Copies of this chain bind each other. A is one copy, B any other.
Amino acid sequence: MITQFEVPHRRARKTATYTSLVGAARALCQRQGFVGLRTADVAKAAGVSHGAVFAHFPTREMLLKSIVHDLTASLTDRLAELVTLGASLRAVLAAHLACLAEQEDLYRRLLIEAPLLPESFQLAWIGFQSAVSHHLAEAVAIERAGGSLRPIAHHLLFNTWIGLVHHYCINRELFAPGQSVFTARAEMLINHFLSLVSLNPQEPP
């Protein structure tokens, strides 16, 4: 008999294994990268047999896809959470960096390896960048109404910001050795970018 509190053991055990596999894979991707993820390592880290991996994911690629999808979905959600309605441009930039800081290692891996992953992976990746662009556009529209911004095409403004942020992320060891770049350099990056796009140059503090 199944009481109201119980879930069938088998199903519970299966989802526990699944969760364990995804968690282990995520952690390993953070350390070894997506390209370097080995299914045998995932199994070992999850405490199950090698074969168990393929009982839950048809191929290694599907496992990777699941991790990438989870990451970009969670980033998109988190960004929306951090960007409160009507936020200033500065607030949006800060939210963007804060959001990346929370997942910095994994984000960095994806940033570096995305071009080497199968094409289907890029969609999730691009989806998140679009979300960032969208939030930025909204903040810019408000700010522009105030007349404090230079007249810059949105795509250039966005690409300049993304290019700068990703450059710092990729070369993290140069800019913030052993730390989170997105925490250590956030203020500097934001101040610099704002001063670039503002009509009245503000001196950084």
A192 on the interface (CB 8 Å rule)?
Answer: yes
A115 on the interface (CB 8 Å rule)?
Answer: yes
How many monomers of this protein are in the complex?
2
A160 on the interface (CB 8 Å rule)?
Answer: yes
Q: How far is the CB of A87 from chain B (nearest CB, A)?
A: 23
Contact of A170 among B35, B115, B150 (CB under 8 A): B115
A116 on the interface (CB 8 Å rule)?
Answer: yes
Consensus secondary structure, chain A interface: helix
A156 on the interface (CB 8 Å rule)?
Answer: yes
The answer to whether A159 and B152 have CB atoms under 8 Å apart is no
Contacts of A203 in B (CB 8 A): 151
Contacts of A116 in B (CB 8 A): 33, 35, 112-113, 116
- On chain A, the number of residues with a Cβ less than 8 Å from chain B's Cβ atoms is 28
Q: How far is A66 from B57 in the complex, measured between Cα atoms in Å? A: 40
Q: How far is the CB of A153 from chain B (nearest CB, A)?
A: 8
Contacts of A199 in B (CB 8 A): 201
Contact of A156 among B113, B150, B151, B192 (CB under 8 A): B192
Contact of A160 among B113, B150, B152, B160 (CB under 8 A): B160
A121 on the interface (CB 8 Å rule)?
Answer: no
Q: How far is the CB of A132 from chain B (nearest CB, A)?
A: 13
**Chain B residue at minimal CB-CB distance from A161:** B163
Q: Mark A151-190, 1 if CB is under 8 A from B, else 0.
A: 1100010011011111110100000000000000000100
Spell out A's residues near B (CB within 8 Å).
33, 35, 112-113, 115-116, 150-152, 156, 159-160, 162-168, 170, 188, 192, 195-197, 199, 201, 203
